[in-house]
Copies of this chain bind each other. A is one copy, B any other.
């Protein structure tokens, strides 16, 4: 045992000091035995230890290879799928400082994650809120204990049903926003030290929560055409003992793609074969512009492996902070976790949503919202297309309200953000969405705003800064 540890440590040093390069093949077991004079069992133990630490990976019939800790996103260049284990996660302070910096009202909110408020908070919903608050009785109700307001859960269940996903109200747990749903789901499914799989470019909340829970994070890069790289996914789950995946597949934040049904079906098949759970962040599911609402992974899930999380914050407004998780058999576990944190999402807000949705106002509102988001984003896109300097690329997809810009590789989007915030313009640099910091030259632009003089001036200034 001692000898195998010693061998593992010395190989680890070679990897860490760069003597062994990423994807370099290690000596075969037999070679290593001959070379070192150690027993086969000792060498095998050492290799397995290194594999469990994510420092090397095995390929069937080929042997062991050095794992790559940093893998560049290559949405537009040649594509080499690489699976990465991330040694250390530290993104919390970065995100925190970023969010504080774009908060003041004088900052043009091109870096915001929330859609233009003016398109949300429909008058009918405000009217319902007004009516509810006029009656003291509505304040005197019992708190909505977990799993939350029954009528609201029934309405949410019906909406799943309309997409061919059979759902009972008791499958749903109401939460204080989508992030709360995602956080509770990950807590329910994991314990410290477990392996989880993330997309390489993802909403920063996933990184923060994984860091907090002490999870080992493996990432797969985006596929340049399909958005989701099924080959890298298969490689990842064969290499690491992944317990839970956390994916966003519809109107992906920050990039914008929506993954095809064919690939979703393949993902589901692999999840089932390997009995891996999926936490699906689907907070933009209602903001797809073309045809019907895209299917969620829940649709393809026959074995209750998918916990589907969403909310009303991106469609009705952040004042509501009401989200939910399709928790299925994990409902009770998640409710237990709620009983030690928030206890309950806001009761009054849940009541207002019940009245709004049950009177068919939600569908009407969503139609108008999608039309306006699409219209506003198109204006941004045309302007960028016309005015961005050569060497830039615009990733424009039919959904959501973000454009993802690839800048010339010599530009650091973090430096650009720091310059722009001095000029009262907020933009979201790629470093927020990619903890490995491999992507340094992308920007997420919030295009949900009307094309006012102020917005045009800010976009012009942004482009001037890129061109400098």
Contact B341 A179 (CB under 8 A): yes
Q: Does A290 contact B (CB under 8 A)?
A: no
> How would residues 192 to 209 of chain A score, 1 for a CB under 8 Å from any chain B CB and 0 otherwise?
100000000000010011
Inter-chain contacts of A339 with B (CB < 8 A): 92, 95-96, 99, 205, 208
Contact of A133 with B140 at beta-carbon distance under 8 Å, contacts A321-B344, A339-B96, A339-B208 already known: no
**Nearest-CB residue, chain B, relative to A347:** B319
Give, as a whole number of angstroms, the nearest-CB distance from A335 to chain B. Answer: 7
The segment from A118-126, A403-411, A460-468 found at the interface with B is A118-126
Q: Chain B residues with Cβ under 8 A from A317's Cβ?
A: 139-140
Cβ distance A202 to chain B, nearest Cβ, rounded Å: 14
Contact indicator per residue, chain A 69-82, by CB within 8 Å of chain B (1) or not (0): 00000000000000
| Chain B: CB-nearest residue to A214 | B192
Q: By CB atoms of chain B within 10 A, which of A117, A318, A332 has the most? A: A318
A134 — nearest CB in chain B belongs to which residue?
B130
Copies in the complex: 2
**CB closest residue in chain B, given A112:** B142
Q: Please, how many angstroms separate the alpha-carbon atoms of A117 and B347 in the complex?
A: 14
**CB distance A143 to B179 under 8 Å?**
no
Given A133-B126, A336-B92, A341-B117 contact (CB < 8 Å): no
Q: Using a Cβ–Cβ cut-off of 8 Å, how many residues does chain A contribute to the interface with B? A: 57
Q: Report the minimal beta-carbon distance from A35 to chain B, rounded to whole angstroms.
A: 35
B residues less than 8 Å from A336 (CB atoms): 92-93, 96, 208
A208 to nearest B CB, angstroms? 4
Are A139 and B117 in contact (CB-based, < 8 A)? yes
Contact A96 B341 (CB under 8 A): no
Inter-subunit contact B337/A212 (CB<8 Å) = yes
Cβ contacts A222-256/B at 8 Å (1 or 0 each) = 00000000000000000000000000000000000
Please name the residue on chain B nearest to A346 by beta carbon.
B346
**Contact of B335 with A321 in the complex, beta carbons under 8 Å:** no
| A344-382 at interface with B (beta carbon < 8 Å) | 344, 346-349
Task: Say yes or no for A221: interface residue by CB 8 A criterion.
Answer: no
Closest Cβ–Cβ distance, residue A152 to chain B (whole Å):
15
> Is A183 in contact with chain B by the CB < 8 A criterion?
yes
Q: Which of B179, B318, B344 contacts A347 (CB 8 A)?
A: B318
- CB-CB under 8 A from A100, the residues of chain B are 145
Q: Is the interface of A mostly helix, strand, loop or mixed?
A: helix
Residues of chain B within 8 A of A117, CB atoms compared = 139-141
User: Which of B133, B140, B209, B337 is in CB contact (< 8 Å) with A340?
Assistant: B209
Query: Does A180 reach chain B (CB closer than 8 Å)?
Result: yes
Across-interface contacts of A319 in B (CB, < 8 A): 138-139, 141, 143, 346-348
How far, in Å, is A109 (CB) from chain B's closest CB?
8
A168 to B460, CA, bound (A): 41
Query: Does residue A103 face the partner (Cβ distance < 8 Å to B)?
Result: yes
With a cutoff of 8 Å between Cβ atoms, the chain B residues found around residue A390 in the complex are none
A133-B133, A176-B342 in contact; A103/B142 too (CB < 8 A)?
A: yes
Tell me if A343 is interfacial: C-beta within 8 Å of chain B.
yes
Nearest B residue to A205 via CB reads B340
Chain B CB within 10 A, most for which of A118, A133, A349:
A133
A342 CA / B176 CA spacing, docked (Å): 6
- A22 contacts the other chain (Cβ, under 8 Å)? no
Residues of B within 8 A of A205 (CB): 339-340
Q: Are A342 and B118 in touch, CB under 8 angstroms? A: no
Can you name 19 A-B pairs with beta carbons within 8 Å? A96-B339, A99-B339, A100-B145, A103-B145, A118-B140, A120-B140, A121-B136, A126-B136, A129-B139, A141-B319, A176-B176, A179-B341, A183-B341, A187-B212, A205-B340, A209-B340, A318-B347, A321-B342, A341-B342
- Add 18 more A-B contacts to A99-B339, A114-B143, A120-B139 (CB < 8 A): A92-B336, A92-B339, A96-B335, A96-B336, A96-B339, A114-B142, A117-B140, A118-B140, A130-B130, A140-B317, A143-B318, A176-B176, A176-B341, A177-B343, A179-B342, A179-B343, A321-B342, A321-B343
The interface of chain A, by Cβ under 8 A from chain B, is 92-93, 95-96, 99-100, 103, 105, 114, 117-118, 120-121, 123, 126, 129-130, 132-134, 136, 138-143, 145, 176-177, 179-180, 183, 187, 192, 205, 208-209, 212, 317-319, 321, 332, 335-337, 339-344, 346-349
